[in-house]
Structure formats: structure tokens, C-alpha cells
Amino acid sequence: MKYTKLLSPAKIGRLELKNRTIMAPMSAALGNPDGTVSDPLIAYLTARADGGIAMIITEYCFVTEEGRSSDHQISVTDDGKIPGLRKLVDAVHAHGAKICLQLQHGGRRSMVKVMAPSAIMKQTDRVKPYEMTTQDVYDLIDAFIAGAVRAQKAGFDMVEVHCSHGYLLNDFVSPSANRRTDEFGGGLTGRAKAPVMIIQGIKEACGADYPVSVRLNGEDMVSDGNLGRDSAALAMLLEEAGADLIDVSGGMNGVGYGIAPAAVRTGYNADPAEEIRKVVNIPVAVAGRINEPEYAESLLRKGNVDFITLGRALFADPDFVNKAAAGLEEEICPCVGCLQRCYGSYGHGGQFRGCMVNPFSMRETVLKLEPAQSPKKIVVVGAGIAGMEAAWTAAARGHQVELFEQGSYPGGQFKIAAIPPHKQMLARACVYYSKMCKKYGVNMHYNTRADRALIQSLNPDAVIVATGGDPLVPGIPGLKESGYIANREILLGRIAPGSKALILGGGLQGAETADFMAEHGYEVTIIEMREAIAMDDHPATQKLLLERLTGNHVQMITSATVKQVFPDGVDYEKNGRMESLRGFDSIILAFGTRSNNALAQELEGLEDAQVVVVGDAVKAGNAVEAIYQGAVLGAGI
């Protein structure tokens, strides 16, 4: 596809950009604890600059010490921060991109001093914030302006005023948080006065030609918050103050779609961005689940936005733009909207965020694909995600890799996980891993069961066993005689008899199978031993999943231990009492996975070859762990 709009040059004020792509300001949690710029942060951002992005907007940078929102956040509070910021600017410029510093104060989301325009708790807790005085607001305005001056001294091409996501300036402009009766409250002009004065002050201090962007919620997505029409009116005031770009996002305080899982529609901020674009004469950028270049191009061709702000798509693949330009769409590592590593448990290194599908993201200094000093012949067994990740990364380093898969297609359990509602991008990930294997010369053998004899005949230096897992079948009385159906059989196309289904296990597998079956008209009940359904999912994903289950009248029984299974139901214990469920046409088993390491046992004592087991074949776990293990193995073997 020809990306005639996406790759065309454009201007923000007098700042010229080589194309219409902007990297969204997303926290990588890579700053030093004292707020200075670190080498890992520079490496992370320069990788995206190398990847073809026209301009990088840094993660939020706090303008006052009391405005810090998180550990490892960068700072612009004093002149001592300028040298590190200058080092970042010079590095990004050297790699072909412009760079903008985002100025921010945490407000109600501060980790130092919780403060707000009014003493109103945010929607996600019951912490009363300090209500700012009028003088406090003037001091805040001065701090933002001073931060912009430091950014200009450090060489940043532009600054962005953060006025979204429930941080302090968002609280000022949103009626949901601002009940002030002084000059910074009341109607829309009063609520907008703080950011208006900040923009005016930056222009006066840095020069009328120094570009200023405002990150603005298209919609706040909270009760009594701004809607698209309100944000359009705000944008007019911000333009009049001197803003050169409106960078549209959405949601506040972790409510709404500020962090959008896969169940949220693509481009969910596009409609309010279009409302804003109709009333201003400056460019408008839009972010929000724009994960494929084809869709980005379509938004630009409509003519209602001028720039595409790419967020988690660049977590997943720093080379997103270059690959699109080269027509290599299937080689783009896709954001699947899982939230598992970018906004879930960081894992694998403590403070680091990351990407489930791309474990190299935000680990540019510690996890690298470097040429192998001594190329090996490697056999990989299993074309699931752990096996393919290990295979292509090893091959990319120069190893000769043979991959064997007993099935007909790649993907393993990811292929099954892609079937429930809103999970299609997992299939896209399977295509990506397979494509990378082919690109780097992995010999893919399908419909082939690898055993000891076959592997020995190849005389490998190393064998990677990635045979995954099988359904876990616990020893509950009556289960084996009940005629149960494993949940993966349902997802792979087996039609359960009747119309009433009882799903044993309410983890992610059981919940998503219930979602799938309810969508197809089954009357579904889930029974789960733990206190909630889909507890291992990210809260934002879990929330939408539970809403769908509730909307489809799925009955959910939690804190219940199944004691006996029958062909039409179960006996279970809850709160010390025995209960019964009967009248079901099918029993669906979703208790998770157990390791399939039979091949590893078969290969014990194999001479002259290193045998390594990865993914579920080692221990039943999740995709985050499986892909990470595959990457570390491929990078180090």
C-alpha cells in the first residue's frame, strides 16, 4: 500500500516534520530516580527515531517536585536537569527525528502532594486533594513557563502542555474536577485560563515562533466531564492563546479508555478529534488504538486530522513507520491491546515497562540481538509463541534453525486464544512471528512430530523444547466420567450439545470461553474457586469482559470449590455449605494448562546437544513469560 498521506511532510507552526507520524508521550519508567535522563531512556527513544517516526514527544516531565506522578519520571524542575535533557535531544536529532518535551504536573495523581483546583476526590479513590489557592495557580503557571524555557535551552524543537488524563491541567479545564469560584473557575473561559496563560507565557518567554502543543482530552470519559463539543470550544481558546497543535487523547484518572484494551474500538478518539479540527485552523493530531498503518492512512485521507500520534504501536515495534514505508506490514510487531506489560505487572527487571509481544522494547541496553560468535545448528520443537520467538531471534543472530510443528499452522495456544471476542490481534501476532521466522531463514516443518530419533539424525548443537501444554484435568470425582469438553475444543470449532453450558474454571480461559459461547447464544454459567472471574487479566480488560458477560446474562459463581462432577452439573462447596448445580447440557473444562514435557524427558541423556525447555513446556504460565523466555534464549544461545 502507498501511504501517500502518512509519509508526506507537514508543519507544526514553522517546525517541519518529514512525515505525519508522532510518537505519543508514554512512560517507559526508564528515568533515573532523581529525575534525570538515563542511557536506557535515550536508547529506547533513539530506537524509535531510527524507526522512521517524524517527532518524539517525551513521556510526561514534571515541572515541580510536588507534581511528580511516578518513580523514574523525568524532571525539568531546575537548570541542573538541562545537560541530561540536551544529551537526549542531541541523540534523537542524530537519529533523524524531532523531539518535544511534555510538561506535566500530577495534580490528583501526584505521588508527592495530591492537589487539585477543587477538593474533589478522583473517581478511583477516596483521597481528598489539597485545594489550590489563587496564588498557587499563578505559581503553577510560572513553573510550566520555566520548564518550557529550560526545554528550549536544552534544544527541544517543541514543548507540549499536558492537559489530559486526569493530571492537574486536565482537572482545571474539566467541569468534573473544577468547582472554583475565582478567576480560574466558573465557565469555560475561567476553567481554561491556567493553560491559556501558560501558552501565552511560553510564547512570550521562548518567542512567538517556538512551537507549543497541547495534549487535550477529546472526551474525559467520566461523569460531568468534557465531551467532544466541550473540547472543541476549549481548543479554540487554546489556539487563540498561541497553541500550534492540539494533540487529542482521552480519558482521565484511569477511568474510561485512557488506557485502551483490545475490546475498545480502534481510533476511539477520532470522532472528538474531528470535532476539534472543524473549529480550529491549527493542526490536530489524534492518538488511541491506531495500531496498523492502513488505518492511520485512512484517518489522514479523510482530512479531519493532520497527524497520527502512535502510542503502544511503538512499544511493540520501533520500526513501525519504516516497515510501513517499505510495504512490510506483516513484519510489524503488533500491539495486541493486552496491557500485560505496558500497563500491567512490569516484571523481568523491576521498574521497566515493556511489551508482551516484543520483549526487547524498553530493554534496548540489556537485551540485544548481536551476531553469534559461534553459529550453531539448533532444533526448535513447537511453533507456539515461545518456540517461534526463540527460533527467529536465534536465526537473526546467524544460527541455523530447524523448527518442527506437529500441527498444520503456527501459533500454538495463541492461535486458540485469538478466537474469543476482541482477540483477533493475537492471530496477527502469530502471523508476525511466522513471518520473522521465514525472513531469517528458519526452516519450518509442519505436520511433523519430532522425536528423539529425528532430532538425533539432524545432529544439532542445541534443542529447544517448546511443546506447550495440555488441558489440566484435576482429579475431581466424576470429572472423567462426565463427558466434559475441553474449552479449547469449543474455541476450535466443536459445537457443544444443547443450549446450557457449565464452565468449570473462571480464570482467563474460562471467562473468554464463556464470552465466546454467550455470544453464540448459549446460556452459560461459570464456577470459579477464587473470589473473582478473570483475576489474572489487566483490570481494564477484565472490566470490559465482565460487562460483556453480565450483558449476556452469564451466571458467575465465585469462591466455590467443585467437589463432584456429573454429566449435567456439579456439587460444590461455598462458604462452608454444599450446593448443587444441575440441568446442563454440557460441561466445559477450563482449569488451565499443564506442561507437556514428554519430549524433554525423551531427550534426557542426549549426547553432544544442549537441551533447553521454554514456555508452558517448563511450567504452565502466561504469554508474557513464554515470549520473554523465548527472546532471552534466542538472544543468548
Over residues 132-182, the pLDDT tens digits come to 999 999 999 999 999 999 999 999 999 999 999 999 999 999 999 999 999
Q: Hey, how many other C-beta atoms are within 10 angstroms of the C-beta on 377? A: 14
What is the domain range of residue 564? 485-591
Query: Does the pLDDT value for residue 353 go beyond 90?
Result: no
Span of 5-9, 60-64, 143-147, 412-416 with lowest mean pLDDT = 412-416
| Domain identity same for 35 and 140 | yes
Asked whether residue 347 is assigned to any structural domain, the reply reads no
Question: Residue 422's pLDDT is what?
Answer: 95
The reply to whether 132 falls in a domain is yes
Can you give the pTM of this predicted structure? 0.94
Which CATH number does the domain housing residue 527 bear? 3.50.50.60
Q: Which of 251, 259, 253, 216 is nearest to 109 (CA)?
A: 253
- Which residue has better confidence, 617 or 241? 241
Rg of the chain on CA atoms, in Å: 27
Three-state helix/strand/coil letters over 379-419: EEECCEHHHHHHHHHHHHCCCEEEEECCCCCCECHHHHHCC
Check if the beta carbon of residue 463 is closer than 8 Å to that of residue 603. yes
Provide the mean pLDDT of the chain.
95
Where does the pLDDT of residue 605 fall: very low under 50, low under 70, confident under 90, or very high at 90 and above? Answer: confident
**450 and 489 in one domain?**
no
Lowest-pLDDT range of 190-194, 346-350, 386-390, 475-479 = 346-350
Same-domain pairing of 264 and 397: no
Domain identity same for 449 and 529: no
In this structure, the answer to whether residues 489 and 620 fall within a common structural domain is: no
**Looking at residue 352, what is its pLDDT?**
63
The answer to whether residues 583 and 612 belong to one domain is no
Count CA atoms within 13 Å of residue 139 on its CB side: 10
- Residue pLDDT, tens place only, 192-247: 999 999 999 999 999 999 999 999 999 999 999 999 999 999 999 999 999 999 99
The DSSP 8-state label assigned to residue 617 in this structure reads G
* Cell numbers representing residue 181 in the block: 469560584
Local confidence band at 613 (pLDDT 50, 70, 90 cut-offs): very high
- Mean pLDDT for 361-378 is 95
In a domain, 340, yes or no: no
Band of pLDDT at residue 471, cut at 50, 70 and 90: very high
Q: pLDDT-based confidence at 71, cuts 50/70/90?
A: confident
Residue 363 lies in a domain: no
364 found inside a domain: no
Task: Specify the pLDDT at position 256.
Answer: 59
Alpha-carbon distance of 505 to 273, in angstroms, equals 42
**What CATH number is given to the structural domain containing 259?**
3.20.20.70
pLDDT tens across 398-425, in order?
999 999 999 999 999 999 999 999 999 9
Cell of 164: 489530559
What is the distance between the alpha carbons of residues 445 and 151, in angstroms, rounded to a whole number? Answer: 54
Tell me: do 160 and 102 sit in the same domain. Answer: yes
Same structural domain, 606 and 568:
no
In angstroms, what CA-CA distances link 620 with 387, 470, 617?
Answer: 15, 9, 7
Query: How far is it, in rounded angstroms, from Cα 440 to Cα 393?
Result: 8
Give domain status of residue 187, yes or no.
Answer: yes
**Same domain flag for 498 and 604:** no
Q: Is the pLDDT assigned to residue 64 strictly greater than 60? A: yes
Asked if residue 258 has pLDDT above 80, the reply is: no
What whole-number distance in Å separates Cα of residue 359 and Cα of residue 408?
27
As a whole number of angstroms, the distance between CA 387 and CA 514 comes to 29
**Among 24-28, 138-142, 516-520, 528-532, the least confident range:** 24-28
Q: Kindly report the backbone phi and psi dihedral angles of residue 459, in degrees, each rounded to the nearest multiple of 5, phi listed first.
A: 50, 55
Sort strands 469-471 and 593-595 into parallel, antiparallel or unpaired.
antiparallel
| Residue 22 predicted with pLDDT over 80 | yes
DSSP alpha helix (H) spans, 405-498: 413-417, 424-439, 452-458, 487-491
Tens of pLDDT, residues 543-601 = 999 999 999 999 999 999 999 999 999 999 999 999 999 999 999 999 999 999 899 99
Q: Which of 311, 331, 351 is the last residue of a domain?
A: 331
- Residues with a known catalytic role: 167
Specify the pLDDT at position 350. 47
Query: Given this model, what pLDDT does residue 620 score?
Result: 81
The string of DSSP codes covering 523-561 is EEEEE-SSSSSSTTS-HHHHHHHHHHHHHTT-EEE-SEE
Same domain, 466 and 490: no
Distance, CA of 74 to CA of 386 (rounded, Å): 34
Q: How many domains does the chain have?
A: 3
Q: Give a yes or no: residue 3 inside a domain.
A: no
User: Average pLDDT, stretch 342-368?
Assistant: 79
Q: Are residues 520 and 413 in the same domain?
A: no
CB 141 within 8 A of CB 194: yes
Residues 79 and 139 grouped into a single domain? yes
What integer pLDDT is reported at residue 619 of this predicted model? 84
Phi, psi values for residue 186, rounded to 5°? 80, -125
500 is a domain residue:
yes
Collapsing DSSP to helix, strand or coil, 56 comes out as: strand
